[in-house]
Amino acid sequence: MNVNDTEVIFSILEKAGYERTEVLEEADLVMANTCSVRDNAEQRIWGRIEVFNQARKKRPGMAVGIVGCMAERLKDKLLETRKVDLVVGPDAYRSLPRLLEALSPDSPQIDVLLSREETYADITPVRTDKKGISAFISIMRGCNNVCSYCVVPYTRGAERSRDPHSIVREACDVFQKGYKEVTLLGQNVDSYLWKSETETVNFAALLAMVAAVSPDLRVRFATSHPKDISDEVLQTMASTPNICRHIHLPVQSGSTRMLEKMRRKYSREWYLERVAKIRSLMPDCGLTTDVIAGFCSETEEDHRETLSLMEEVGFDWAFMFAYSERPGTLAARNYPDDVPQEVKTRRLNEIIGLQNRKSLERYRAQIGKRLTVLVEGPSKRNPDQLCGRASNNMMCVFPAAGQKAGDYAHILVTDCTSATLIGQGVQ
């Protein structure tokens, strides 16, 4: 989502007459687009601010800006460092030209007002994918779920859906420019709902509308919520070949007690039923997840339930983190962060070890299968090989045989690691 926000910012600034550079020493303005979901992401930004300030010692007059979620959450604290000149929240990007015009060494600028309407639907993002293969399209902004550990509702505001016809127009535009894949983005895409006087469009209908742009345009989406992913969405995926067979379905914990404390609004049993439904309709569907180790009051039994759920489901891959308290969240206000760090680390390592084993099992199960791969370009390790993703989102590497980035290649999987399928081209 930050990539899409960055592309929106580039579009706004380009129209205001700014020219983009990737050379820090040439920049009159340098900005960091930030995330506040986890503490380590914020800590990296504090480090980047120091790098930017070292650069502007050599280039007097360079302005430093922080945009995105961290700008929204920390606001004045960033300006108080006197190392940041511009602070702009996720719903205020349109104000950037005005703020930059008013900016001076003695007059830092800030705009972090959240909106209930802003979707940037009328802005054509400046694409940053240098390969010109995949494009991100925002379909909604904000979140209404208020999970107890999550800062997103406080930094990105309330949920609002974008006009579906503007989404389809954007998908048509990128396809006409040669892109072969779009990823529809939202904090909870399954709750997408747009209504007008004459039309109601839910996420299943939106998926079908975007997929209808062209059978040669792959459609992905992120992120789904287990409480909202519907049979209608799954049936639309199963019946539409160019909607990719991959779902990122964050579970966070395998313990119903923990899920209730996290305010996830589903149980372990509900989650497993959704997985069973996915696999009954699409046996070849890739499934990835998020897992938090050591949330407030988590016991060894809760941890074992997470491990057992991961064992039962067999995810292809997972984002796995130790819980870090985020200021301002319900958990920070109401629950002590009482699991010792060494216990969090040990549990996280057990989760990672299990997932590595399950990933290898899942990838080995692909050996002998024929897959269609969207070529992204040469493999980083071997330029004589190509790489790209199959519909199930697994990365594939295979010998180059005249294909180029943006082509569809058909491969037979012959080997694998726990993160890559190795194949040979087939006709």
Q: What is the pLDDT of residue 256?
A: 98
Q: What is the pLDDT of residue 342?
A: 98
Quick: pLDDT tens for 346-373: 999 999 999 999 999 999 999 999 999 9
Q: Rounded to whole angstroms, how far apart are CA atoms 105 and 311? A: 56
Q: What is the pLDDT of residue 22?
A: 87
Q: What is the pLDDT of residue 3?
A: 87
At CB < 8 A and 24+ separation, what contacts does 386-393 make? 390/421, 391/218, 391/244, 391/245, 391/246, 391/284, 391/286, 392/244, 392/245, 392/246, 392/284, 392/285, 392/286, 392/316, 393/220, 393/244, 393/246, 393/286, 393/288, 393/316
Quick: pLDDT tens for 94-135: 999 999 999 998 899 999 999 989 999 999 999 887 788 999
Q: What is the pLDDT of residue 200?
A: 98
Q: What is the pLDDT of residue 119?
A: 93
Which is it for strands 395-399 and 421-425: parallel, antiparallel or unpaired?
A: parallel
DSSP state of 191: G
Q: With a cut of 50, which residues of the chain have pLDDT below it? A: none
Q: Does 349 fall in a domain?
A: no
User: Domain ends where: 93, 111, 129?
Assistant: 111
Q: What is the pLDDT of residue 242?
A: 98
The tokens for 224 are 């789904």
Helix (H) or strand (E) holding 98: helix 96-102
The residues that bridge with 181 in the sheet, in sequence order, are 134, 218
Q: What is the pLDDT of residue 366?
A: 98
Q: Does 106 fall in a domain?
A: yes
Q: What is the pLDDT of residue 42?
A: 85
Q: Rounded to whole angstroms, how far apart are CA atoms 200 and 163? A: 10
171 and 217 Cβ atoms separated by less than 8 Å: yes
Q: Does 326 fall in a domain?
A: no
Q: What is the pLDDT of residue 294?
A: 98
Q: What is the pLDDT of residue 332?
A: 96
Report the 10 Å Cβ neighbour count for 283: 9
CATH number where 81 lies: 3.40.50.12160
Q: What is the pLDDT of residue 63?
A: 94
Closest CA to 5 of 155, 154, 109: 155
User: DSSP 3-state assignment of 184?
Assistant: strand
CATH number where 408 lies: 2.40.50.140
Q: What is the pLDDT of residue 37?
A: 74
Q: Does 375 fall in a domain?
A: yes
User: Domain ends where: 111, 141, 165?
Assistant: 111
Q: What is the pLDDT of residue 77?
A: 87
The tokens for 236 are 């639309």
Helical H runs in 224-374? Answer: 231-239, 256-261, 268-281, 300-313, 330-334, 341-364
Closest CA to 354 of 300, 302, 323, 318: 318
Q: Does 142 fall in a domain?
A: no
369 and 261 Cβ atoms separated by less than 8 Å: no
Q: What is the pLDDT of residue 2?
A: 82
pTM score, two decimals? Answer: 0.93
Quick: pLDDT tens for 206-229: 999 999 999 999 999 999 999 999
Q: Does 51 fall in a domain?
A: yes
Q: Does 59 fall in a domain?
A: yes
Q: Does 195 fall in a domain?
A: no
For the chain, what is the domain count? 2
User: Domain ends where: 91, 111, 131?
Assistant: 111
The tokens for 9 are 């910012």
268 and 311 Cβ atoms separated by less than 8 Å: no
CA R_g for the chain: 22
| Structural domain boundaries enclosing 394 | 370-425
